Amino acid sequence: MKIDILTLFPNMFEGFLTESIIKRAINTKKVEINIIDFRKFSHLKHHQVDDTPYGGGAGMVLMCEPVVEAIESVKTEDSLVILTTPQGEKYTEKTALELKKYKHLIIVCGHYEGYDERIREFADLELSIGDFVLTGGEIPAMAITDSVVRLLDGVITEESYKEDSFSNYLLDFPTYTKPASFRELSVPEVLLSGDHQKIKEYRLNEQIKRTQLRRPDLWEAYNANKKSEK
Q: Which residues have a Cβ under 8 Å from the Cβ of 94 and sit 6 or more positions away?
A: 166
- The secondary structure element, H or E, covering residue 188 is none
Helix 20-27 crosses helix 138-149 at what angle (to 10 degrees)? 60
Active-site residue, from 164, 174, 206, 215: 164
Q: What is the DSSP letter of 115?
A: B
Cβ atoms 199, 193 nearer than 8 A: yes
Catalytic pick from 37, 93, 113, 163? 113
Which residue among the candidates 86, 163, 172, 174 is catalytic per the annotation? 86
Selecting among 24, 93, 146, 150, the annotated active-site residue is 150
Contact 130, 90 (CB under 8 A): yes
53 catalytically annotated: no
Q: Is 86 labeled as catalytic in the residue annotation? A: yes
Angle at 53 between CA 60 and CA 113, to 5 degrees: 40
State yes or no: is 150 an active-site residue.
yes
Catalytic positions, written as ranges: 86, 113, 150, 164
